[in-house]
């Protein structure tokens, strides 16, 4: 059986396109594709008593629509609150100043994300602004512990 240069070239192109597809899927799964884009963003922050298992690069959404990502999480040494910084796509620059932020859990795997609930203010959040109305993450172990403790106290 003879090999032709055309067959070798086609097989090479097929393998190269497969590798490119795997690379693209890896970028999508790891959320690194957001760093490769050149879209305009602005940063806002929110303070939570407990950010639970929220991680950098977690999803930020409004009504289930992705509008940004968590860019950093750090502890305020004075108030001992978790400060969550979020990078929001500039096309969503009409978030009212009385927007509230909550940390929710998505799916069975327990991945946490920030959900923003827009208020009714006529003024909008700008780069560097902070969200004042927040709801911390619900920690399942604490809820179960409180339930068991209340049941033990009833008996």
- What tens digit of pLDDT does each residue of 97-137 get? 999 999 988 876 678 899 999 988 899 999 989 998 888 87
SS3 call for 92:
helix
- What tens digit of pLDDT does each residue of 22-64 get? 888 877 766 555 555 557 889 999 999 988 888 998 999 999 8
Q: Are 61 and 113 in contact (CB under 8 A)?
A: yes
- Does residue 101 share a domain with residue 68? yes
The predicted pLDDT at position 87 comes to 94
Q: Is the pLDDT of residue 146 over 80?
A: no
What total number of domains does the chain contain? Answer: 2
Q: Are 56 and 72 in contact (CB under 8 A)?
A: yes
- Does residue 84 share a domain with residue 66? yes
- Does residue 54 share a domain with residue 106? yes
- What tens digit of pLDDT does each residue of 1-15 get? 566 888 888 888 999
- Does residue 98 share a domain with residue 25? no
Q: In 3D, which of 83, 94, 102 has the Cα closest to residue 125?
A: 94
pTM: 0.69
Would residue 3 count as lying in a domain? yes
Containing structural domain, residue 4 = 1-30
- Does residue 71 share a domain with residue 20? no
- Does residue 92 share a domain with residue 20? no
């Amino acid at each position: 059986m003879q090999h032709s240069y055309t067959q070798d070239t086609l097989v090479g192109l097929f393998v190269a396109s497969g590798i490119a597809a795997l690379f693209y899927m890896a970028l999508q799964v790891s959320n690194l594709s957001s760093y490769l884009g050149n879209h305009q963003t602005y940063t806002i922050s929110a303070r939570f008593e407990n950010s639970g298992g929220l991680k950098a690069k977690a999803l930020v959404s409004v009504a289930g629509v992705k509008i940004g990502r968590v860019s950093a999480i750090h502890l305020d040494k004075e108030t001992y609150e978790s400060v969550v910084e979020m990078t929001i796509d500039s096309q969503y620059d009409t978030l009212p100043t009385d927007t509230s932020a909550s940390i929710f859990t998505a799916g069975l795997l327990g991945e946490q994300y920030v959900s923003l609930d827009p208020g009714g203010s006529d003024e909008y959040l700008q780069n560097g602004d902070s969200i004042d109305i927040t709801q911390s993450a619900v920690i399942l172990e604490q809820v179960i512990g409180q339930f068991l403790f209340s049941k033990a106290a009833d008996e």
